[in-house]
Amino acid sequence: MRAPNALRRPNKFIAYMRKYWFVYMLVLPGLVFMLVFDYGPMYGILLAFKDYSPRLGVWGSPWAGLSHFREMLVDPNFIRAFKNTVLINLYNLAFGFTFNVFLALMINELKIKKVKPVVQTCVYLPYFLSWVIFAGLVQVFLEYPSSADIGGVVNQVISALGGQPVDFLKNPAMFRTILVITNIIKTAGYSTIVYLAAISGIDPALYESAAIDGANRKDMLLHITIPRILPSVMIMLILQLASLFISNFDQVYNLYNNYVLSTGDVLSTYIYRISLGGSGTNFELSTAMNLVLNTMGLIVVLGANKFVEKLDVQGIF
């Protein structure tokens, strides 16, 4: 008499584990790392609902309910940082994301063998620099002239053309633009690699057939290249939407100053200041902010993924 299916499943699972044990051993280090460093610290979310005391620890600290969330919603500095974060990320999405797709398509259209590697190297190089180095270069280029020096390259050009030098990094109206432009220059290389990889996977026979039918490069671009890389574009879009409420701390922290807080102070820098930056150690409030923002990001990702699926394009789930 055969055993029921429910009783046979463990045996099949064990047999499967024995057969592919080497594959599971390869996965094990990454799994352990994720459990220890990603899931393990998640118990710290409790700080958002407690009045934390270092003496009592996370578990022993008294419960505070939703008081920290109420404090967050009435904090004008949080509202300002939230607004700046969303606006900067929307600008990055509108200008940076579209530029990256456009740049990848243009690099793919380059047919001169000696020019294409040079362009790709120039595009990829900034991505491998840390934001500390890259921000230092930006400050050198945009430096305002003083009695001791003649200023950065940009202000030298403006002066040579008869204009007045501009103190870019202390101008609140320009700071968001600087953040968006420097982010595009810094990160465009990585995105173009992803899109160029997707383009390289397109069957060359499609282009050959289109050429035989009389299609030009524009027709091939619009009707072959773009539709074939659309799944990759949508996945990158969803991943960027996941960070809609999360700002690039390294970039902003190395570029902003007290003059541009009204337009440049973002959530990551504000959370850093109230928790570790010298203006207090409000771990509970910063944890509540991170919890709300990451939850909102998850909701946006799920909604965007559902929308992409309705367009008959594969999402990330």
Q: List CB contacts of 85: < 8 A, sequence separation 6 or more.
A: 245, 246, 247, 266, 267, 268
Predicted local confidence at residue 275, as pLDDT? 80
Span 118-124, average pLDDT: 87
Span 213-226, average pLDDT: 86
For residue 19, pLDDT beyond 70:
yes
Q: Which residues pair with 50 in a beta bridge?
A: 63
Of 15, 218, 184, nearest to 92 (Cα)?
A: 184
Burial class of residue 52 in the structure, from the number of CB atoms within 10 Å of its CB (0-12 exposed, 13-18 middle, 19+ buried): buried
Predicted local confidence at residue 134, as pLDDT? 92
Fold of 64-129+176-311: MetI-like fold (1.10.3720)
Q: Is the pTM of this model over 0.75?
A: yes
For residue 13, pLDDT beyond 80:
no
Domain residue limits, the chain: 64-129+176-311
Span 112-134, average pLDDT: 87
In the chain, the largest separation of any two C-alpha atoms, in whole Å, equals: 96
For residue 7, pLDDT beyond 60:
no
Question: What would the pLDDT profile of 86-105 be if each residue is shown by its tens digit?
Answer: 999 999 989 988 999 998 88
Predicted local confidence at residue 133, as pLDDT? 93
Question: What would the pLDDT profile of 222-265 be if each residue is shown by its tens digit?
Answer: 888 888 888 888 888 888 888 888 878 889 999 988 888 888 88
Predicted local confidence at residue 281, as pLDDT? 74
3-state secondary structure the chain: CCCCHHHHHHHHHHHHHHHCHHHHHHHHHHHHHHHHHHHHHHHHHHHHHECCCCCCHHHHCCECCCHHHHHHHCCHHHHHHHHHHHHHHHHHHHHHHHHHHHHHHHHHHCCCCCHHHHHHHHHHHHHHCCHHHHHHHHHHHCCCCCCCCCCCHHHHHHHHCCCCCCCHHHCHHHHHHHHHHHHHHHHHHHHHHHHHHHHHCCCHHHHHHHHHCCCCHHHHHHHHHHHHHHHHHHHHHHHHHCCCCCCCHHHHHHHCCHHHHHHHCCHHHHHHHHHCCCCCCCHHHHHHHHHHHHHHHHHHHHHHHHHHHHCCCCCCC
Q: For 151-155, 209-213, 276-280, which range has the lowest pLDDT when averaged over its residues?
A: 276-280
Span 11-39, average pLDDT: 85
For residue 55, pLDDT beyond 60:
yes
Of 313, 179, 187, 176, nearest to 240 (Cα)?
A: 187
Band (280; pLDDT cuts 50, 70, 90): low
Q: Which amino acid does the sequence have at 79? A: I
Band (148; pLDDT cuts 50, 70, 90): low
* CA-to-CA separations, 192 to 27, 196, 200, in angstroms, rounded: 29, 6, 12
Percent of the chain exceeding pLDDT 90 equals 13
Q: List CB contacts of 195: < 8 A, sequence separation 6 or more.
A: 100, 101, 104, 105, 229, 232, 233, 236
If you average pLDDT over every residue of the chain, what do you get?
84
For residue 25, pLDDT beyond 80:
yes
Predicted local confidence at residue 308, as pLDDT? 74
Predicted local confidence at residue 4, as pLDDT? 54
For residue 124, pLDDT beyond 80:
yes
Span 150-171, average pLDDT: 86
Predicted local confidence at residue 217, as pLDDT? 84
Band (80; pLDDT cuts 50, 70, 90): very high
Band (71; pLDDT cuts 50, 70, 90): confident
